[in-house]
Amino acid sequence: MSEARAVLVTGSTGGIGTATVRLLQSRGFIVYAGARGPAAFEPGVRVVPLDVADPSSVAAAAKRVAGEVDGLWAVINNAGVIVQGPLELVPADEWRRQLEVNTLGPASVIREFLPLLRAGSAAAGSATSSASGPGGRVAGRIVNVSAATGRVAMPLLGALSASKAGLEALSNALRLELAAWKIPVVVIEPGTTQTEIFTRAGAAADVALQQADHDRVDLYAEHLAAYEKAMSRFKPGPVDKVAKVIVRAVEARHPRRRYAVAEARTLGAILPKLPAGLRDRVLSGAVGLNGIKP
């Protein structure tokens, strides 16, 4: 296997990231698993300390990978967090954390790892021209794990929506910037999945509410109760389903610009086309906010 078949996965220590690492390894890739803390994988997975919100950590990870392989087949920006709650009740530091991990983090990873992606793309192109490469596929690809909220902002998920909208815009601009090198930029939109990210988001929101002004929290009591009830109706899908879509984008001869999974197909494709007033009513109804009075 060519060294150009090495890949990096950020946020590898849980949920979608872990499933993606394992599936990629089973498909014969050299997998670098970016992890903020301790991580245990099958033998062969190369765990790399990597905190996407820390530029020095990202730079150190890129230097280490560059010392071991000549190029990368793909960089998968999967690391992410969810910050939830009404904007008025979300502390400034939580807003910063949301943007640093979900938007600035992928930008930092891409900036540091682009030389390895270009090298991987050149290596694959050279191998293909000599009739010994991976079937003419385009290598050097970037896969950004976004969310349908990046295209359709959800109430009480304003911070998440803003961060994913930023990632969407970043991806669309970058796709054009890297076209000269034939480096595809792919966006993955998972649906609701069985992952601890939602549990952690709820716990962080509870802490923020406890620290917020109680009079302001009381103003949103009905909103918060309605949101919790609405979210309880969603049936999370398996992480393996999302991992398979990510691997499909990694292995595709010419990957699509966007892959949506489960309900993300409806949220991202249909709702943006509705008239603004109707879309607002649909979204408010989906989280139980219709009819709430001050």
Across the chain, which has 294 residues, the per-10-residue mean pLDDT values are 75 94 96 91 94 98 97 97 92 95 98 95 58 54 95 93 97 96 95 72 75 85 89 82 96 94 78 92 90 82
The Cα angle at residue 90 between residues 195 and 194, in degrees rounded to 5 = 10
Look at residue 114 in the predicted model and tell me its pLDDT. Answer: 97
Give the CA diameter of the chain: 70
Look at residue 37 in the predicted model and tell me its pLDDT. Answer: 84
Look at residue 231 in the predicted model and tell me its pLDDT. Answer: 80
Cα gap 152→164, rounded to integer Å = 10
Cα gap 145→260, rounded to integer Å = 10
DSSP-derived letter for residue 149 is: G
Look at residue 133 in the predicted model and tell me its pLDDT. Answer: 41
Burial state string for 30-39 with b = 16 or more CB within 10 A and e = fewer than 16: bbbbbbbeeb
- At 260, phi and psi to the nearest 5? -110, 140
Counting every residue, how long is the chain? Answer: 294
Look at residue 211 in the predicted model and tell me its pLDDT. Answer: 78
The residue ranges of every structural domain in the chain are: 3-218+236-272
The Cα angle at residue 98 between residues 6 and 242, in degrees rounded to 5 = 45
> Any idea which residue has 């669309």 for tokens?
172
Any bridge partners for residue 9, and if so which? 33, 76
Look at residue 270 in the predicted model and tell me its pLDDT. Answer: 85
Look at residue 123 in the predicted model and tell me its pLDDT. Answer: 66
DSSP 25-91: HHTT-EEEEEESS-----TT-EEEE--TT-HHHHHHHHHHHHTT-S--SEEEE-------S-GGGS-
Look at residue 134 in the predicted model and tell me its pLDDT. Answer: 46
CATH code at 3-218+236-272:
3.40.50.720
Amino acid in position 72 = L
For the chain, list the strands marked E by DSSP.
Answer: 6-9, 30-35, 46-49, 74-77, 141-145, 185-189, 258-260
Tokens standing for 13?
Answer: 């220590």
